[in-house]
C-alpha cells in the first residue's frame, strides 16, 4: 500500500498550536485503526536543535536512537503514543549538508546545484523515508514556521511537488491559522486567514482543510466567509477554540469532521470506530476538584516554560494518575544562590531539578538539594538534577567542601561528577553527547526498583558527565544508594538517599517516555510520595494510581519496545 501523506502548514503567526493539532489529528487517525508516524520539517540552518539555547528553541526532545529533535516530537509521541526515530525531524541544515557533501564527492557530474530541484529533491527523499522506515500507513508532516517566511519556501515547494509525485488521493494539505478577536466590536476577523491562504495558493498549494484557532467560538457565518474567500467547503473549515486543557484537543477535534474529511481525501475508510474513552477519562480527571500539591521546578530557563515542557507534562501525567492537582512554581536557580531556601520553598511539597548545562545557578540548585534532603521534602533530580544531588551529598555528608562537577570547576580537588572517559577527546559540540536509549539495571529493595516493578529498563540520555566511580564506595557507605547501574557496572544511572521519603536522581531523562495515560513510573512514585507525605487520602480509598489509568506499569514496560 502507498503511504499517504498529510501536510500541515501554518499561517498568520507562529505558536498557534500546529504541533499539537498535528499530534491530535494523528491520535484520531490511530483511533480509526491506522498506523501513523509524524515528521517535523524545521527551516533553520542548524543541523539539529541540540546546539541551540533553550531560550531560542525550548526543550530539545531526545529520541530512542539519540536524535536531538524539536519539542513538537514530544507532542507527537505523547498524543499518539508512538516512538519516533531520527528520520522524523529534518532541518534545512541537514538537507544542505547532505547535498553539499554529495556535490563534493562529485555525485552531480558537473551539474549546477540549485534549490530546485536538488534541495527540494533531497527534502522529498527524506519525507518519503519516513513512510519507508516506519512502515506507517499515514505520515503527518508538519512544516515549521509560518507561510511567508523566506526560509520555509523550499519545504513548501517540495510538499507541493509531492502531490504530483504521489497523486491526489495520497496527499492532504491542512492549513492552520489564527482568528484575531477585536475586543471593541467583539468580532473575530478572517482577513489574516484570507491573506495567508492566498499566499499559500500563490505557491501552488490549495488547502483541503483550514483549521482556525481562536480564543472565542466561531459561528457559521465566519466559517462560510472563510470557505468562500479561501475556496474550500464550509465543512472543511474546522474551528479550534483555545482550551486550558491541552489533552482536550483530540476530543475537541473529534467533535469536528476533520478525521473523516482527511480519510475521504485520502480515499480511506476507517478500519474501526474510534474509542476515546480512556482519553476522555484523562480530561474528566483534570476537570475534577482534587487536592492540590505544590511542586517547585528549580531551573535556569524558567522564564520560558517550553524549555521544560516534557518535565511539566510528565508531572501532569503522574498527577492525573494520583488524582491530585498540580500547582507548579518555577524557581530561578540564581534566586537561591543568595535567597533564603526556607522562604522560597514555603508551602512547597516537592522539588524537581531538571536537566541543564553550564555553571549559572548551580550553587542555588545545590542549596535546593540541601533543603530537600534536610527537610525530608520529596526531590526528583533529572540528569543535571541527579548530579546536583550527588555534589550536595558529597559536600555536606562526605564533607568534601569543594567537591563539584568538572563541568563547573575544572580545578576542583574532588570531581565527584566527571567527564565520561569516551568524552575526553570530543571537541565538536553537535550530536556528540551520550545520547538515546541505554539499559539500566535496578537494585533490589530500592525505590526505583519498587517504582518500575522490574529489573532492567531502558531510558533516554543526553549528557557528557557522570558520577565518578572513585567516590562510589564512600557515597554508598554514607547513605547514598546507587540504585540504577549500567549492566557493565560502569555508570551510575540512578541515585537515592537512604531513609529519605523520596530523594532520587536519574542520569537519564525519564520525562521523555511519560504518557498522559501511562505516567512514567518514577514520576508516578514521586507524586505518590508527595501525596503520602501530605497525608492526602483518596476518596476511593486505598488504590494504586496505576490501576486507575489502565495498568500503567505493565503497559509502560510493553511499550518500552520501540515501534
Residues at the contact surface with ligand GLN, assessed by CB under 6 A: 355-357, 383-384, 407, 462-465
Which residue matches cell numbers 512514567? Answer: 520
Q: Which is nearer to ligand GLN, 39 or 514 (CB)?
A: 514
Q: What beta strand segments (E) does 72-170 contain? A: 89-91, 138-143
Residue number of the CB atom closest to ligand GLN = 355
**Which neighbouring-strand residues pair with 5?**
139, 171
User: Buried b / exposed e across 112-137, counting CB within 10 Å, b at 16+?
Assistant: eeeeeebbbebbbebbbebbeebebb
Measured between alpha carbons, how far is 232 from 336 in angstroms, rounded to an integer?
55
Least separation in angstroms between CB 161 and ligand GLN: 39
The cell for 176 is 492552520
Nearest one of 355, 362, 393, 360 to 503, comparing CA atoms: 393
Q: How far apart are the first and last CA of the chain?
A: 19
Phi/psi region, residue 431 (left: phi>0; alpha: psi -120 to 50; beta: rest), is: left
Least separation in angstroms between CB 523 and ligand GLN: 16
Least separation in angstroms between CB 270 and ligand GLN: 41
Nearest one of 254, 190, 246 to 218, comparing CA atoms: 190
Least separation in angstroms between CB 354 and ligand GLN: 7
Measured between alpha carbons, how far is 314 from 522 in angstroms, rounded to an integer?
10
Q: Which is nearer to ligand GLN, 213 or 463 (CB)?
A: 463
Active site residue 450: no
Least separation in angstroms between CB 462 and ligand GLN: 5
Least separation in angstroms between CB 492 and ligand GLN: 12
Measured between alpha carbons, how far is 518 from 495 in angstroms, rounded to an integer?
23
Active site residue 383: yes
Q: Which is nearer to ligand GLN, 201 or 464 (CB)?
A: 464
The number of angstroms, rounded, from the C-alpha of 467 to the middle of its chain's C-alpha atoms is 26
Least separation in angstroms between CB 467 and ligand GLN: 10
Measured between alpha carbons, how far is 234 from 172 in angstroms, rounded to an integer?
17
Least separation in angstroms between CB 22 and ligand GLN: 26
Phi/psi region, residue 495 (left: phi>0; alpha: psi -120 to 50; beta: rest), is: beta
Least separation in angstroms between CB 56 and ligand GLN: 17
The cell for 223 is 466559517
Ordered strands of the 379-382 beta sheet: 325-332, 292-299, 350-353, 379-382, 503-506, 492-497, 480-485, 434-442, 456-463
Q: What is the DSSP string of 389-437?
A: HHHHHHHHTS--TT-EETTT-TT-S-EEEEE-GGGTT----TT-SEEEE
Measured between alpha carbons, how far is 347 from 92 in angstroms, rounded to an integer?
47
Q: Which is nearer to ligand GLN, 384 or 440 (CB)?
A: 384
The catalytically annotated residue of 88, 230, 383, 552 is: 383
Q: Which is nearer to ligand GLN, 40 or 463 (CB)?
A: 463
CB neighbour class for 519 (10 Å; exposed up to 12, middle 13-18, buried from 19): buried
**Which neighbouring-strand residues pair with 352?**
297, 380
Q: Which is nearer to ligand GLN, 20 or 491 (CB)?
A: 491
The catalytically annotated residue of 317, 511, 546, 552 is: 511
Nearest one of 390, 389, 380 to 523, comparing CA atoms: 380
Q: Which is nearer to ligand GLN, 66 or 355 (CB)?
A: 355
Active site residue 317: no
Q: Which is nearer to ligand GLN, 237 or 307 (CB)?
A: 307
Least separation in angstroms between CB 428 and ligand GLN: 15
Q: Which is nearer to ligand GLN, 465 or 556 (CB)?
A: 465
The catalytically annotated residue of 75, 175, 500, 509 is: 509
* Beta-carbon contacts of residue 280 (< 8 Å; ≥ 6 apart): 251
- Taking every pair of Cα atoms in the chain, the longest distance, rounded to a whole number of angstroms, is 75
Q: Which is nearer to ligand GLN, 383 or 525 (CB)?
A: 383
Instruction: State the alpha helices, DSSP H only, in 275-383.
Output: 277-287, 309-321, 333-338, 341-344, 362-374
Residues designated catalytic: 383, 509, 511
Amino acid at each position: 500500500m502507498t503511504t499517504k501523506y498529510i501536510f500541515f502548514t501554518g499561517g498568520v503567526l507562529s505558536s498557534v498550536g500546529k504541533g499539537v493539532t498535528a499530534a491530535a489529528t494523528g491520535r484520531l487517525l490511530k483511533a480509526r485503526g491506522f498506523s501513523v508516524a509524524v515528521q517535523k520539517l524545521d527551516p533553520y540552518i542548524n543541523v539539529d536543535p541540540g546546539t541551540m539555547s533553550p531560550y531560542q528553541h525550548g526543550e530539545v526532545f531526545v529520541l530512542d536512537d539519540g536524535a536531538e529533535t524539536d519539542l513538537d516530537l514530544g507532542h507527537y509521541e505523547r498524543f499518539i503514543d508512538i516512538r519516533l526515530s531520527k528520520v522524523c525531524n529534518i532541518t534545512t541544515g541537514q538537507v544542505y549538508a547532505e547535498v553539499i557533501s554529495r556535490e563534493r564527492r562529485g555525485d552531480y557530474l558537473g551539474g549546477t546545484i540549485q534549490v530546485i530541484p536538488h534541495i527540494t529533491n533531497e527534502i522529498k527523499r527524506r519525507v518519503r523515508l519516513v513512510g519507508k522506515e516506519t512502515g506507517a500507513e499515514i505520515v503527518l508532516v508538519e512544516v515549521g514556521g509560518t507561510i511567508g517566511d523566506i526560509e520555509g519556501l523550499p519545504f513548501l515547494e517540495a510538499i507541493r511537488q509531492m502531490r504530483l509525485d504521489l497523486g491526489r488521493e495520497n496527499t492532504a494539505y491542512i492549513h492552520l491559522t489564527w482568528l484575531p478577536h477585536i475586543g471593541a466590536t467583539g468580532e473575530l476577523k478572517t482577513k489574516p486567514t484570507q491573506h495567508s491562504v492566498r499566499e499559500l495558493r500563490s505557491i501552488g498549494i490549495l488547502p483541503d482543510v483550514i483549521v482556525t484557532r481562536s480564543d472565542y467560538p466561531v459561528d457559521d457565518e465566519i466559517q462560510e466567509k472563510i470557505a468562500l474567500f479561501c475556496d474550500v467547503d464550509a465543512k472543511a473549515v474546522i474551528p479550534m477554540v483555545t482550551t486550558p486543557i491541552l489533552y482536550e484537543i483530540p476530543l475537541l477535534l473529534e467533535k469536528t469532521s476533520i478525521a473523516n474529511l482527511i480519510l475521504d481525501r485520502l480515499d480511506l475508510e476507517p478500519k474501526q470506530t474510534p474509542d476515546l474513552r480512556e482519553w476522555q477519562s484523562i480530561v474528566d480527571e483534570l476537570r475534577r476538584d482534587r487536592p492540590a500539591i505544590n511542586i517547585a521546578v528549580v531551573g535556569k530557563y524558567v522564564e520560558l516554560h517550553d524549555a521544560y515542557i516534557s518535565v511539566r507534562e510528565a508531572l501532569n501525567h503522574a498527577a492525573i494518575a494520583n488524582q491530585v492537582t498540580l500547582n507548579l512554581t518555577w524557581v530561578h536557580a540564581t534566586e537561591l544562590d543568595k535567597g533564603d531556601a526556607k522562604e522560597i520553598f514555603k508551602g512547597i511539597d516537592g522539588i524537581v531539578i531538571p536537566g541543564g548545562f553550564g555553571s549559572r545557578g548551580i550553587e542555588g540548585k545545590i542549596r535546593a538539594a540541601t533543603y530537600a534532603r534536610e527537610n525530608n521534602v520529596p526531590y526528583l533530580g533529572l540528569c543535571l538534577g541527579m548530579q546536583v544531588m550527588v555534589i550536595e551529598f558529597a559536600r555536606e555528608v562526605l564533607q568534601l567542601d569543594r567537591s563539584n562537577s568538572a563541568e563547573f570547576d575544572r580545578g576542583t580537588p574532588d570531581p565527584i561528577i566527571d567527564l565520561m572517559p569516551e568524552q575526553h577527546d570530543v571537541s565538536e559540540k553537535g550530536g556528540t553527547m551520550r545520547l538515546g536509549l541505554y539499559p539500566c539495571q535496578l537494585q533490589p529493595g530500592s525505590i526505583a526498583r519498587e517504582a518500575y516493578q522490574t529489573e532492567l529498563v531502558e531510558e533516554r540520555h543526553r549528557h557528557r558527565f557522570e558520577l565518578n566511580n572513585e567516590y562510589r564506595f564512600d557515597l554508598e557507605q554514607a547513605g547514598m544508594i546507587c540504585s540504577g547501574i549500567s549492566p557493565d557496572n560502569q555508570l551510575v544511572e540512578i541515585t537515592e538517599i537512604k531513609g529519605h521519603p523520596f530523594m532520587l536522581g536519574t542520569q537519564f531523562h525519564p520525562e521523555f517516555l511519560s504518557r498522559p495515560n501511562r505516567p512514567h513510573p518514577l514520576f508516578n512514585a514521586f507524586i505518590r510520595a508527595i501525596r503520602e507525605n501530605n497525608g492526602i487520602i483518596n476518596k476511593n480509598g486505598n488504590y494504586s494510581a496505576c490501576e486507575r489509568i489502565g495498568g500503567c506499569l505493565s503497559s509502560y514496560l510493553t511499550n518500552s519496545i520501540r515501534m
